[in-house]
Structure 1
Amino acid sequence: MSCWGQSQVLAEPLLRTMFESSPEGVLVLEIDGTVRFANSSAAAMLGAREPGALVGAPWRSLWPELSRPAVEAHVEAAAHGEARHFAASPAAGARPKLEAIISPMCNEAGQSVALFVSLRDVSDIEAARLAAEARERVASEEASALRALAALVSLSSWETDFRRDTVRISNAKGLQELSIEQAVGAYDPETAARFRAITDRVRVCGEPYKGEAPYARLDGARGWLREFVQPILEDGVCVGIRGAAMDISEEVSAREAIQRAERRLAVAAELAGMEVYELDYETQTLIKGGSAASILGGPLRPETFSSPPIGQVAPQDRARVQKEWASSQEAGSPFRSEFRMHRNDGQEIWVYCVAEMVTQGGQPKRLLAAIMDITERKRSELTLRDTMRRMAEHEAHQKLLLDELNHRVKNTLAAVQSMARQTLAGVCFDEPRDLFLERLLALSATHDLLVRHAWESASFHEVADAVLKPYGRPYSYEGSDLQLDPNHAVSLGMALHELATNAHKHGAWREAGRVKLTTEVGEGHVRIVWSESGGPPVLSPTRRGFGSRLLQRGVAGELGAKVALDFAADGLVCTIQAPLSARLRVA
């Protein structure tokens, strides 16, 4: 037989009867943790139908998966002679929490031959413990919330006991108890005296006190307090006071800042000549601020504002103002407008008005309005508009005359060109005739360009394009563009024409060459460089023609420039260096 058969514990009828009737669960386990005995209480606690259902079952299988490693460790320790205690919920059964004590059962030699387990249902105890912890947690959270709220609103409370001469103070820092003199002694003499006066007043009169006052502490802190104090009465005798105080330093600072801003606004409105009105529709009270003088020549009455925003709008502006007012109300934005009004003496004035309606429940509550006399400014604007209109008419008339003059000059150039053709028709030399006509065409092209700019100015690139494009040969720009007055434009246009004609007959454009126009801006001057490349070899001329004289005399004289002609073998280079001025400037 196994050692169980030899066990006197289970063989003893009295002990077995005691185990069976015990209200606590009793189990006996083999050393390996197999259940060999269980009473009815243990079966009920572990969710078994009867004690026999547990016999032969591994002890670890009676507990949930997560608890099994710990259960096995307890069995192992008990098997080696160490009693163990643990609490857990079983794998089955209605009870959520059981307390188990595992003790070794030893033979006469002191060896562990079995394990004794006692089970106790601690569900109610656990529930009570959890409830107590929950109450403590809620109380702690409420206390933390109250301290946080006190810190947020800078609130403190206190209770003074005159019989014990103590004060209990509760604030964001916690709860503390001091003597009355200790509590009051933290403040400067003036604040301490005020606290004592309030205490004496409430104690003697037995009536609550409420007020606001500044304070100063000995640690340097200063501010304002809103205080409420009430007596604690027993049998009609004041035995203490209970009070609360809120630090309203920021509120007072904000209130003072608003008051300063209102004073500044009033001064600004007075200096600007503005009148500010606030109408309370419910009480029909009208408050005026700003300028002391009345823009309308007398006091305004609430009925003046019966037709928003102001009922004294001149008839010619009334429809427009009412439309603007309706639009501002629909958009929920302030009303802003300029309109005419009639003073009390009948004089018409212009005013600038800003107004806003404050509503409650869709009904007008208050109207805020500010008006400023802008009659002088408006008259100046009207005078300026009239002057600008007359200037525009004058400019239009001047443009008409200029267009007519341009038309006649163009016709004159065409007539000169026609007469030249007729006069030189019988000349046997075609070249002089053609040169003359080409120069007239170049002059006409520059003239047309200036006409498009109303004879004010033209750019160097525009002049070059007007003169060079008719040749249909390649050219390019490099450097900044220049802005030329009419005379400079005509001079440079004729110079470019002479250079282009020379390039066409003798230079780069005679073959597949190119022309490059370069502008180089220096300190107070600009260099315009005409350079040719890719043409036939250049030969220096034996005499100076019209083109050379035009460049070295006409252009040099008109622009105050220095003109240099370099008949290099690989292409002509013409350099015109002219001073920068209002007539010739970088574009």
Structure 2
Amino acid sequence: MRQGAVSAAPGTRARTLADLDQAAIDLLPVGVSVCAADGAPIRWNRAAERLWGRAPRRNEEAERFGGAWRMYGVDGARLAAERTPIFEVLAAGGRCSAELLVERPDGERKAVALTAEALLDEVGRAVGAVVCFQELAERTAPTPSAAERRARDLLEALPAAVYTTDADGRITFYNAAAAELLGGAPDLDETRWCGAWKLFTPDGAPLAVEDCAMAVTLRENRPVRGAEVLAERPDGSRRPILPYPTPLRDRRGRLVGAVNMLVDVSEQKEAEARQRLLVDELNHRVKNTLATVQSLAFQTLRHTASPEAFRESFENRLVALARAHDLLTRRCWQGADVRDIVSRELDPWTDGLTERTRVEGPSVELTPRQAVALALVVHELTTNAVKHGALGAPDGAVSVTWRREAEDDDARVYMSWAERGGPAVRPPERGGFGSTLIRRSVAGDLGGKAELNWAPGGLACTLEFPLRG
């Protein structure tokens, strides 16, 4: 494109853009358009419409700095908005002349001489611009074939980022998806190899643009695959990208350029990170579960007198552990509420009869580790109540209450288990595994303490432990 520099001469002063009369500009034989300070077209004449083959939409973002369907340099390179003469005039406040190609919606291209001049207010600020288009009838503009237009329109419509270069690596085309991915529009025929602001290897080391995949493709005349990079955008954000540069050759097989498709793999990377986290978490949970099962098996075996008694006690404890895991699974292992934990252990033995159980307390969310520990503790208390306590008697009942208290930003849970209406209770002659498990679980997994009181009216147990986030 032959384009002169913006003239330092002041632009035309106009009090308002309305000073330009529509009827007057419609009489002019050349195309004339008027745009606002942001480049949006607000007025144009019939000659401009005939030249453009269309009427632009007023005050539309996509119509800024033009009016034509598309504009190209005389070399056929498409002009980005910030490289148009209108943009330069509005930025500098002067005058500019250039020759370029205007493409109509039907694909026909016309060579035009364009002159743009800024409209200035009283203090010399650009409030808009007047643009004149004069068709260069003696010059035949290279009009792409129908196949070329379809190919270009297809690339424009693709959601994937695509751009092309010539044999020297200068970018000759890019679509909207490429501009969005890279965070800006590259300068056609100036930017080489890649439109990214900066490039880095996957481990964060700087990568020279002349060593990028597109540069290798053009230098070695071969496609490049699997060369992942981090592309830094002008705002500082980085995107992991997989480029797919492929050479373009003419009919004789000579290299004339390359096409590159950029695939943003950000979502894939995030999914892989989540998967690694889930696998690590799963391994951790499996190890903890196996350790718990091993401990339950060993301690149950030590405190039972026969294989039958071992099987019954061990199976019941595994069922309690499974119920706790099922509850956590329903919540995606984010935690569990105290009420759900207690109810799941008591309901199978009371058939949900509220006169035999009282479960009362606020909503308190426990971590997965706390939830499993509390489930095993409540299971031991429930099993003891069924075999030796209130739940084994027709009129027996159990009350389970809890409260949450905060002390200097350290929230703690206080829980009480109280039985009544059962047989007379006396302390055991020697501690069994159930009471040992309760104390160890509360101390080790909950970080608190447990007290068991074998009162004549029924077993009472109090738990106290910190509420961890």
> Looking at CA atoms only, which structure, 1 or 2, has the larger radius of gyration?
1
- Larger RCO (CA under 8 A, 6+ residues apart): 2
- Give TM-score, length-normalised by structure 1: 0.36
- Greater fraction of residues in helix: 1
TM-score by length of 2: 0.43
